Amino acid sequence: MHHNSSAVEFLLLEFSAIQELQLLHFLLFLALYLVTVTGNLLIICAVVLDHHLHTPMHFFLMNLAMQDLGQASVIVPKSMINSLMNTRHISYSGCVAQVLFFLSFLASDISLLTVMAYDRYVAICNPLQYEMNKQACVQMVASVWITGLFDGALHASGTFAIPFCSNIVNQFFCEIPQLLKLACSDLYLIEIGAVALSVAIVFGCFAFIIVTYVKIFIVVMRIPSAEGRQKAFSTCLPHLTVFSTLVLTGSFAYLRPTSNTPSNLDLILTVIYSMFPPLLNPLIYSMRNKEIKSALAKLLSLRHTSNST
């Protein structure tokens, strides 16, 4: 144990002492990151450049892509650089920045997914009332970003207000549960309370989304055409799958007692909730959307075979 109440830097988890395996980790994370960045940038560009996509749903999708891009960029590049340079160091300010921005993007993601579920509910269940104007969309998205930033600032200030007895973080980025294990005082209980409150709010969002989709499914089942039902289900089920994975793995990672030694389970859960949603969201929410696919085809100067026939 390093008894330094004011750590100058932290040491992140080393994936392996073997240089070849460290390089393998770098290449794996690089591949995941490039796919994540490419997918989300394509969505942002498609929505911005195609006026057909200037609708509430696509505006929300664009903001989701921006949040996912930010979430991945806050944690993955530093881990890749450390593996490539065979080092474990991250500065104190770098660690604070990771906690602040990662939690901000994560909270914004969850808030926006909840807003998107409500948007789908109104569009499908009350189509005659569905007149969400541009100003309302901007206000909702602004509140999502502000809420996320407030949540990140709350957790960052709560975590780094406590003195640390060690600077060894058993995770590939500065994750709050791992940082709290290093605490030298009982002040960490305040942050644990804040984490528990956040998790309760997340489960509240999860319950809201479940109830919303149950109502959507009831309406969808009344659609006479099989094609119509299929189209509605294809936009709902992936949303539930990714959100469920994010909530369950994230909550398990934050609420389960952490061990003093690095755990493969801790690592796997963290990779799943921190890296997979930003990777999968562009594929699930957007690539299944005909308007987005059409816009991407124009963006990439591709032509659908249907256009040539």
Task: Determine the pLDDT at residue 265.
Answer: 80
Residue 2 in domain: no
Find the mean pLDDT for residues 289-307. Answer: 69
Task: Determine the pLDDT at residue 164.
Answer: 92
Task: Determine the pLDDT at residue 208.
Answer: 94
What residues have CB less than 8 Å from 165, skipping those under 6 apart? 1, 2, 3, 4, 5, 182, 183, 184
Task: Determine the pLDDT at residue 192.
Answer: 86
Task: Determine the pLDDT at residue 257.
Answer: 72
Range of the domain at 91: 12-300
Predicted confidence (pLDDT) at residue 181 exceeds the cutoff of 80: yes
Task: Determine the pLDDT at residue 3.
Answer: 43
Q: How many Å apart are CA 40 and CA 279, to the nearest integer?
A: 8
Predicted confidence (pLDDT) at residue 177 exceeds the cutoff of 70: yes
| Helix and strand counts by DSSP (H, E) for the chain | 10, 2
- Burial level of 293, CB count in 10 A (0-12/13-18/19+)? middle
| pLDDT tens digits along 260-274 | 666 778 888 888 889
Q: Residue 214 maps to which CATH number?
A: 1.20.1070.10
Find the mean pLDDT for residues 211-226. Answer: 85
Domain count, the chain: 1
b/e 88-117 (16+ beta carbons within 10 angstroms → b): bebebeebebbbbbbbbbbbbbbbbbbbbb
Determine what percent of the chain is predicted with pLDDT higher than 70. 91
Residue 109 in domain: yes
Find the mean pLDDT for residues 46-67. Answer: 89
Is 144 in contact with 80 (CB distance < 8 Å)? no
Q: How confident is the model at residue 2 (pLDDT cuts 50, 70, 90)?
A: very low
What DSSP letter does each residue of 60-127 carry, written as one string? HHHHHHHHHHHHHHHHHHHHHHHHHHT--EEEHHHHHHHHHHHHHHHHHHHHHHHHHHHHHHHHHH-G
Predicted confidence (pLDDT) at residue 304 exceeds the cutoff of 60: no
Residue 306 in domain: no
Residue 5 in domain: no
Residue 305 in domain: no
Is 102 in contact with 158 (CB distance < 8 Å)? no
Find the mean pLDDT for residues 39-66. Answer: 90
Task: Determine the pLDDT at residue 244.
Answer: 82
Residue 309 in domain: no
Task: Determine the pLDDT at residue 120.
Answer: 83
* β-bridge partners, 89: 11
| pLDDT tens digits along 45-54 | 989 988 888 8
Is 155 in contact with 99 (CB distance < 8 Å)? yes
| pLDDT tens digits along 106-132 | 999 999 999 988 888 888 888 777 776
Q: How many Å apart are CA 197 and CA 276, to the nearest integer?
A: 24
Task: Determine the pLDDT at residue 307.
Answer: 46
Find the mean pLDDT for residues 234-253. Answer: 77
